[in-house]
Amino acid sequence: MSTTTHLKEEIAATIRSYNAKGWSPATSTNYSFKTNETDIYVSRSGVDKSTFSATDFITVDLYGNPTGENLNSTPSAETVIHCVIYDLFPETQVILHSHSVYPVLISQQFKDFVEFEGYEVQKGFAGQTTHDALVHIPIFDNTQNMNDFAAILRKHKNRITNHSFIMRKHGTYAWGKNLFEAKRHLETLEYLCQCKHMTTK
């Protein structure tokens, strides 16, 4: 089995697992991975994530346009966001997107960012070494214009310091240099958002 095929299988299994948690209702969410400098594999649009398989990835170029055998396929509408993340953070190999409840609720409780402090699990973010640190996660307003949102990410790159961000009333994006790290970042943020929501009055 090739490295690409193996990664497809691993991410597909992750997608099904996250669907079982309720993080991808109504065919929502999108996922991608990058194998080299030019090839991006992104989840096909409109697929039931409970049955997502390795064959449900399509290839796009660095600008989100379908390539190769996928010229007539439809990638996720948010593929542009993935392309920008790969461009801004070149060490990224895998990007995961969640529509879970707690980050969506948190995005309505805070304006431009949410902060976490004192939680042991916040060390799940690469670079965080102590629970005593103040962890800052930006919240950006949702928009249907992905090019506008891409411009927002470029403008606020310096605020994105923990491999993730929240889209207001939408969901979260998290990424890493491999699948293990991307999962750790997403799951860390999910846990922290749940704790924050349950303790915020």
Q: Where are the domains of the chain?
A: 3-199
Residue % of the chain over a pLDDT of 70: 99
Model confidence band, residue 1 (pLDDT cutoffs 50, 70, 90): low
Alpha-carbon distances of 24 from 21, 112, 122, 169, rounded to whole Å? 8, 24, 23, 14
pTM over 0.85: yes
**For residues 90-102, average pLDDT:** 97
**For residues 96-120, average pLDDT:** 97
CB 42 within 8 A of CB 74: no
Return d(Cα 161, Cα 146) in angstroms, integer: 21
Return d(Cα 199, Cα 61) in angstroms, integer: 43
Mean of pLDDT over the chain: 94
CATH classification of 3-199, choosing from 3.90.180.10, 3.40.630.30, 3.40.225.10, 3.10.50.40? 3.40.225.10
The DSSP secondary structure of the chain, one letter per residue, reads --HHHHHHHHHHHHHHHHHHTTSSGGG---EEEE-SSS-EEEEBTT--GGG--GGGEEEE-TTS-B-GGGTT--B-TTHHHHHHHHHHSTT--EEEEE--HHHHHHHHH-SSEEEEES-GGGGGSTT---TTSEEEEEEE---S-HHHHHHHHHHTGGG--SSEEEETTTEEEEEESSHHHHHHHHHHHHHHHHHHHHH--
pLDDT at 144: 92
Return d(Cα 179, Cα 193) in angstroms, integer: 21
pLDDT at 175: 98
pLDDT at 161: 96
pLDDT at 34 over 70: yes
pLDDT at 38 over 90: no
pLDDT at 71 over 70: no
CB 32 within 8 A of CB 14: no
162 alpha carbon, distance to own chain's centre: 12
